[in-house]
Amino acid sequence: MIAENNYRCSIVRIEDCLTTEKSSGGAMKSYRKELWFEVPTRRALINITPKVETCLKESGIKEGLVLVNAMHITASVFINDDEPGLHHDFEVWLEKLAPHEPVSQYRHNVAEDNADAHLKRQIMGREVVVAVTEGKLDLGPWEQIFYGEFDGRRRKRVLVKIIGE
C-alpha cells in the first residue's frame, strides 16, 4: 500500500511503518455502550471517569483501548484535572474565545442560538482514547475524563467503545 503526502509530494510505504505484537492468545473483544446526559443548564463539566471505569469492568477487557466520544456537535469529551478552580478558568476562557452573547454575532444563529457551543466543542475536542492496562484506565496523575456540555437542556449521548483482550 502506498500513501502520498500532497504537501511534499513524497511517497511513503505504509508497510515500513507498521509493527506487529504477538498476542497473549486471547481473542480480540469489542464492547459498546452509550452514556446519556440531560444537563439542566446551558453549560457544565461532568467527571465521567467512574462511568467509563464501570464500562471497562463490564467489558472484561484487560489490555486494549477505550474510545470515549461525544455524539453531539455541541458537546465535548476531554481529559484534565478535576479541580473547581480549573473548571472556572475553562468557563471564563471559553466564554472569552466564543462568547454566547450577542447571539447576532454568529451567522449560524438563524433559528438557533448555539453557535458558541459549536466553537467551544471544537476547542475542547470530540473524543479521548485511553490505554487499558491490567484492566484499568491507564491515566496519568490527576487525569480524569470529562463530558463538556456547551448547549444543554436536552438529551445527548457519549459513546464508550472498548477493544482489546
Tens of pLDDT along 29-80? 999 999 999 999 999 999 999 999 999 999 999 999 999 999 999 999 999 9
pLDDT one-digit tens code per residue, 133-153 = 999 999 999 999 999 999 999
More confident residue, 72 or 23: 72
Q: Domains (ranges, CATH) in the chain? A: 26-164 (2.60.120.460)
Residue 26 in this model has a pLDDT that exceeds 90: no
Q: Where are the beta strands (DSSP E) in the chain?
A: 2-5, 10-13, 29-38, 44-47, 64-70, 75-81, 127-133, 136-137, 143-149, 155-164
What pLDDT does 80 receive?
98
Which residue is listed with cell 484487560?
Answer: 62
pLDDT one-digit tens code per residue, 89-132 = 999 999 999 999 999 999 999 989 999 999 999 999 999 999 99
The answer for residues whose C-beta is within 8 angstroms of residue 48's C-beta and 6 or more apart is: 35, 68, 77, 145, 146, 147, 158
Cα–Cα distances in angstroms (integers) from residue 148 to residues 45, 75, 87, 124, 127, in the given order? 5, 6, 10, 8, 11
Residue 5 in this model has a pLDDT that exceeds 80: no
